[in-house]
Structure 1
């Protein structure tokens, strides 16, 4: 029997699993500070019209609304939007993707997208849409990781490299953060800046993130079941001994719409 999939191409079970990972990410050391920095770069002000594109379960949109902005969370996944609405009933959430935003030309003062552009097959098109909906002087902030730069301590560096690169190969544009500055410049944005905020993660709450990496690499056929289980077991054991280490650089690219 075929499973029902959302417009984003996920089953409800896949969406729930993604939400669980996003929740872990939201709780990671540095995550709150990174969101706060994104609001600063947006120049978030009371009554400013802003969109959080690819809003997921809605936390950032709700936080911006709580600061007085007219914030709208946008996501192409119906279940994501439903869960966001349940979690944050005072916020505004709409079903749409990054290529066709539900806003008039020049309607927004701010555009924010976190951990979104790597899933897009045409990031330049999304940047063009961002420019369309932003008013002159509006700000865009893009946040994401380079999927080849998960820095993980392991007893088997070669297997770790294989896992990281295999996971990256499953992503539509895994290295888009390297080109985000140029994408914005090519679209005519000005005042383009890039910051790197590195998360250093050492706790047991990181194990599900690493297990997901290995699980995806196994599904992709890049590693065997036995290799995956051995690697995940090592990371669990490291966490129990307080020896787990993951460093994850997060890139923040911001610009102004002229």
Structure 2
């Protein structure tokens, strides 16, 4: 079933995050999120689930040297990497912390962001309540999350692609529908939600899509979970490499105000 088109080894998490950020899609939606944050010089901005610091530099430039950026992540290796990357930026601090129990006082920040983090947390509403707690009145939270049930991969046998999407939504991602749920969940956590922006990238190149979606790796896990047979997965992947390719998934940017 293995093809040279597909990446078979799971990439290092840091490599993957940097890879996505470097794509046209990554640059576009991250800029859109930054624009919606509306950061002003001198403000305090939180990057909740900052990872290895991929976006901390852009936030630091937005607040200028008169402002402060605080990155928070729960993983020690990730925090260490983010600290290394921002060591020369005096306006950036990176802390260990759990999004469900942020190590910050009430009303600490003017702006906050989360980027593809809430799809993985144990309690998204709890994390949103914590974000609201640490934002000052009138503060803004900008979130970006996919709805994996909208994932569409074109194939002559649409049932095979539905099985792939069902596996991703049911098994591969903890909060797979979070993108389309964010407005409701944020409202329930006490935010006003003035804006929801759907972004639907269209992938026409199978290698580019595989770099983000991990098509063969995910298909192999779907076999183990009973969503595909070996033969069905082979037919599905063979067409993706041989035929015209198209895949889409809807990503939501949600603006919430405290």
Q: Could you say whether these structures have the same fold, taking a TM-score greater than 0.5 normalized by the shorter chain as the test?
A: yes
Q: 1:24 to 1:151 in 2, by over 3 A?
A: farther
- On the 8 A contact 2:114/2:144 being kept in 1, the answer is yes
Counterpart position of 2:4? none
Q: Which blocks of at least 5 consecutive residues in structure 2 are unaligned? A: 1-8
Of 19, 22, 28, which aligns to 1:33?
Answer: 28
CA distance in 1, matches of 2:220, 2:24: 24
Answer yes or no: is the 8 Å Cα contact 1:29–1:201 preserved in 2.
no
Name the CA shift for 1:28/1:245 in 2 (closer, same or farther; >3 Å).
farther
Once structures 1 and 2 are overlaid, which stretch shifts more, 134-143 or 191-200?
Answer: 191-200
Q: Which stretch shows the higher mean deviation, 145-154 or 175-184? A: 175-184
Alpha-carbon offset, residue 121 of structure 1: 2.6
TM-score (norm 1): 0.84
Following superposition, the deviation at residue 131 of structure 1 comes to 0.8
Query: 1:227 — aligned with what?
Result: 232
Q: Please, what TM-score do these two structures have when normalized by structure 2? A: 0.84
Partner of 2:200: 198
Q: Is the 8 A contact 1:24 1:205 kept in 2?
A: no
RMSD across aligned C-alpha pairs, in angstroms? 2.2
Between stretches 109-118 and 185-194, larger displacement belongs to: 185-194
Q: Helix, strand or coil for the counterpart of 1:113? A: strand
User: 2:185: which partner in 1?
Assistant: 183
Q: Which runs of 5+ in 1 are unaligned?
A: 1-12
Tell me if the contact between 2:47 and 2:114 (Cα under 8 Å) persists in the aligned partners.
Answer: yes
Which residues in structure 2 correspond to 1:1-258 (within 5 Å)? Answer: 17-67=12-62, 68=64, 69-89=67-87, 90=89, 91-170=92-171, 171-203=173-205, 204-208=207-211, 209=213, 210-238=215-243, 243-257=244-258
1:50 is paired with a residue of what secondary structure? strand
Q: What per-residue deviation string (whole Å, max 9, x for no partner) do you get for residues 105-135 of structure 1?
A: 1001111011111112321111110111001
**CA contact under 8 A between 2:183 and 2:193: conserved in structure 1?**
no
CA displacement at 1:86 relative to structure 2 = 3.5
Native 8 Å contact 1:199 1:248 kept in 2: yes
